[in-house]
Structure 1
């Protein structure tokens, strides 16, 4: 049984979709979750849902692309709760297009959130976790880090997340801080539900398990990596995609 009682966790991009599922799962296992999102309304909705189920959480609006905002949320958490045990870097955006049609703006926006944002959150968190000689960091990459048509910006950023994760794991291992990456496959969220039916069917056809994943499928893996049961696992890149990537 995974027990995260008394653990303090930040989950970015937790207002909806996968982030919401991750925050709710960690809270259900006893963690106090700081629900971070650029959208205050959805962040508060996640918090309310957690509290309705008996968990504890609070909202903290943050745009991870902004270094000062990222530093503030980490500092606020440590100031108010005395520590930060778990950091889940989930916030991300996509601006898909073929490479020859991709604008500089679409490239930069994805980089600012999907890779720079991970660094912005990790930097202050790592300083704290190194000093405590304890901590868990889980970064959300994507199966697309291996390359995907129409996602040059997204794939490049998510590949960067893998490289950052492995480097941080090497640097922090002796400080008892683990750093791992999750690569979700095709997950059933509001975003994926917006694709045309033929695209949905095509994606499902590529998955040996024959279904889209759920946010809870991803959250279950993150819960394990955040727990004491995973204290000798670091630098790993774990696919949660029903076999989509083999």
Structure 2
């Protein structure tokens, strides 16, 4: 008689899979790579930070994972061709694409320059578009797979930087279109929406600002990068085989109503 527990574990396993993770050198991208590798996936790390990218590759190799690093700027179509050659030459196929690379600005509408706006849009939105355009046919040829686009709660709500908000809303919408287009290829496409996370992207914040932001969350703490990594690994696995076109908040309850949390705290 088949062991039901074994079948459940097999659904979450990524043995035999190959994943590409952008923005993988640190923060959430690094934890996504660790979670995927821990479940048996080979991983191609992609980042503009070559030193940190190579260091992470060495760490994962030391623990027995099949991993490689390729420096690339996700906003450059030619770099995506380099990524494609690297993953196919090294691992022979690709089954998972995680569009995690992202940048954030800190300018209001009246202050942001056209160059700053374009830089954020190029990395956060154009980069994911190019990644899907380049690699989706290879996921199809491998029998299907999973694409995870890392948006933000800013793609469900807002952020003080208009370019960041627009790019993350755009990525949310692009995910819906891709889920429709790639579904017949057996490719699932979902977006995740991290909230306030304890990652290098928030290193600019003072301890007071960090505490104030955490106090607005029902859970009362920032998220940790590994928690986003676990969500990505789940969506990459067969356990998520009927999930596509979804937008999944991982935000400590922010989108359940931060104002309600503040009112509860005050009373």
What is the TM-score of this pair, normalised by structure 2? 0.89
The structure that has the greater radius of gyration is 2
Equivalent residue in structure 2 for 1:98, among 108, 122, 129? 108
Deviation at 1:149, TM superposition (A): 4.5
- Give the match's secondary structure for 2:123: helix
Q: Deviations over 1:139-195 (max 9, x none)?
A: 000001134352100010011111110101011112211000000011111221330
Asked if the contact 2:44/2:67 (under 8 Å) is kept, the reply is: yes
Aligned match of 1:233? 243
- The 3 A distance-change label for structure 1 pair 149 and 30 is closer
In structure 1, C-alpha distance between the alignment counterparts of 2:233 and 2:141, rounded to whole Å: 23
Count of residues in Structure 1 that have an aligned counterpart in Structure 2: 246
1:84 aligns with 2:94: yes
* Residue 216 of structure 2 corresponds to residue 209 of structure 1: no
Q: Please list every run of 5 or more consecutive structure 1 residues that lacks an aligned counterpart in the other structure.
A: none
Residue 197 of structure 1 corresponds to 207
Cα distance in 2 for partners of 1:211, 1:81 equals: 39
Equivalents in 2 of 1:149, 1:169: separation in Å? 26
Equivalence map 1:27-106=2 (5 Å): 27-106=37-116
Given that 1:115 and 1:160 are in contact with CA atoms closer than 8 Å, whether structure 2 keeps it comes out as: yes
CA–CA distance in structure 2, aligned partners of residues 80 and 34 of structure 1: 9
Shift of 1:5: 1.0
Gaps spanning 5+ residues in structure 2: where? Answer: 1-8, 257-267
The answer to whether the aligner puts 1:11 opposite 2:17 as a matched pair is no
Matched position secondary structure for 1:242:
coil
TM-score, normalised to structure 1's length?
Answer: 0.96
**Deviation at residue 82 of structure 1 after TM alignment:** 1.8
